[in-house]
Chain A
Amino acid sequence: MTDDLRSLYQEIIVDHNRRPRNCREIPDADRTAVGDNPLCGDRLTVYVKVREGVIRDIGFVGSGCAISTASASLMTEALLGKTEREAAALFGRFHDLVAGPGREKRASLGKLEALAGVREFPARVKCATLAWHTVRTALNAPGETASTE
């Protein structure tokens, strides 16, 4: 396998695709939004429970490619326990990670770094960012639909 392909489909991506974490509805969620990339066929719903400005629970259901599913799974882990403000900041940093201008020096994003390989696949950036745009919509404009196409 070529290096950038290996870096795109790292073990952690494959694992989170096969066994997505927090892949469940949250019936008493106070914020939800749908993310829909109709051209791709990637579609998911994100559920968030916020208490006193802190994300106390987060989950998603849907269907999509390995990149969008693994990204959604990793995102739920990264956002759990974060404040809304921290979540917004992390959205920006994640976006830079997968689609930012260069390989500027920046602090590590932990497990989310597994998605850095997407940078080499411009056509797949929309897959990696769908869940993040959806959670941002859930937090800022709940009930609306997000898309990265």
Chain B
Amino acid sequence: MIRSSALPAETAAPGVPDLLRARDDFPILGRRIRGKPLAYLDNAATTQKPRAVLAAVRRYYCTSNANVHRGVHALSDRATQAYEEARGRVARFLNAREDREIVFVRGATEAINLVAQSYGSIHLQEGDEVLLTGMEHHANIVPWQMACDRAGARLKVAPILASGELDLAAYGRMFSPRTRLTAVTHVSNALGTVNPVREMVGMAHARGVPVLVDGAQAAPHIPLDVQALGCDFYVFSGHKLYGPTGIGVLYGKADHLEAMPPYQGGGDMILRVTFEKTTWNAVPWKFEAGTPNIAGAVGLRAAIDYLDAIGLAAVSAHEGELLAYATEEVRRIPGVRVVGTAREKAGILSFVVEGVHPHDIGTILDHEGVAIRAGHHCAMPLMDLLGLPATARASFGLYNTQAEVDLLVAGIRKAGEIFR
């Protein structure tokens, strides 16, 4: 764990050299907010970008920019190569069997919409069921609601326990002969709970049900291997992984992707078009209509390279120590309750303070230069379940320090004093 002050120049300490230097790689972390050093603890919303990512995007536009898959000229070749190499890099990051199992999309949200609409259109019929958990982000609820409405199918929602853990036994009991797919989050964005997805995939597959895993909050924290997990689909967003906004990934097993109809129509996703009939392009391009976010893919590749160089295992250990420290410190503050006490958590600390609304905590912390999220975290059904209108949430990234946790704790104490 980084034990020195929030200032980049003072983060040197022996032990984990790559992680300790990492803070200096993020230009934005050097800026001040309202005269105070920035303590950015809103990483579950989006992460900051290292120079390597910024440089890769800039380099792409300065040296290689052209459209992909269609030009006869040199730049188009380079752009196509950069884009397809990024796909290969993502495939290795996830340990996908083949590059073509990686579809580039705008983000996790679009990936889920793609599967809900495309896979849903051939597999969901009246009376069928899609099984979710009670801790899903709206992005893993609403697309399924839309697909179910269209088909006359319905959502079933597995309950969660008071700790914020999934009731795994109840989840198992909620499968029925009509369950066509189960879509579950790997890590809860509101509570930090890590779900036992491998076990859940086993339970689903034993009943012949395919699984989509929402990895938006897991990909930046947990080393991934989609073959070991066995899931049918895995989705994540580049911007939560120190990459650019507007680029994300859908991993799908090749046989699923082959069988699924296109999601959007347009250029690049076709082989041949006449006004009578169009022949789809091969997987994955069948799902990538129009000019893709080439620079985004290049930036995402740079982010993955960066993260891999540091090592996700080291990142995960560092964030785990920060979370443990923050949990302990925050719990000492009178009137504070930690929301989400699962045994396995990743980088997220949700809490409420008696007599102080989360938004007021957010404003007071902002004044100390500490950026957190306050609200329902796009998980309104979960908040209803917990009986809370909102929580305050601090979420950690690879560059955060113990000193920043101390600022967080001091800010919460200040909020408590103002409202005492």
Judged by a CB distance under 8 angstroms, whether A45 is at the interface is: no
A14 x B376 contact (CB < 8 A): no
Interface residues in B368-400 by Cβ distance below 8 A to A read: 375-376, 380, 383, 389-390
B364 within 8 A of A: yes
A2 to B357, CA, bound (A): 20
Contact mask for chain A residues 91-121; partner B; CB cutoff 8 A; 1 contact, 0 none: 0000000000000000000000000000001
In the bound assembly, the distance between CA atoms of A37 and B390 in angstroms comes to 12
What's the minimum C-beta distance from A64 to chain B, rounded to whole angstroms?
Answer: 7
- Residues of chain A with a CB closer than 8 A to B363's CB: 5, 8, 121, 123-124
Residue of B34, B364, B390 near A41 (CB, 8 A) is B390
In chain A, residues 1-57, which have Cβ atoms closer than 8 Å to a Cβ of chain B?
1-2, 4-5, 8-9, 14, 17-18, 38-43
> Which residue of the partner chain, among B360, B380, B390, contacts A9 with CB atoms under 8 Å?
B360
Residues in B with CB closer than 8 Å to A64 are 357
Contact indicator per residue, chain A 124-149, by CB within 8 Å of chain B (1) or not (0)? 10010000000000000000000000
B364 touching A124 by the CB < 8 A rule?
A: no
Is there an interface contact between B360 and A67, defined as CB atoms closer than 8 Å? yes
CB of A59, distance to nearest CB on chain B (Å): 21
A66 on the interface (CB 8 Å rule)?
A: yes
- Cα A4 to Cα B367 with chains together (Å): 9
| Complex CA distance for A141 and B419, rounded to whole angstroms | 36
Q: A residues within 8 A CB of B380?
A: 38
Residue in B closest to A2 when the chains form the complex, CB atoms? B367
Taking A5-B364, A40-B375, A63-B389 as contacts, is the C-beta distance between A14 and B357 under 8 angstroms? no
Q: Does residue A65 face the partner (Cβ distance < 8 Å to B)?
A: yes
A41 touches B375 (CB 8 A): yes
For A66, the chain B residues whose CB sits under 8 A away are 356-357, 360, 419
Pick the 7 closest A-B CB pairs, nearest first. A41-B389, A65-B357, A65-B359, A41-B390, A66-B360, A5-B367, A9-B418
| Chain B residues in the interface with A (C-beta under 8 A) | 34, 355-360, 363-364, 367, 375-376, 380, 383, 389-390, 414, 418-419
A residues adjacent to B (C-beta < 8 A): 1-2, 4-5, 8-9, 14, 17-18, 38-43, 63-67, 69, 121, 123-124, 127
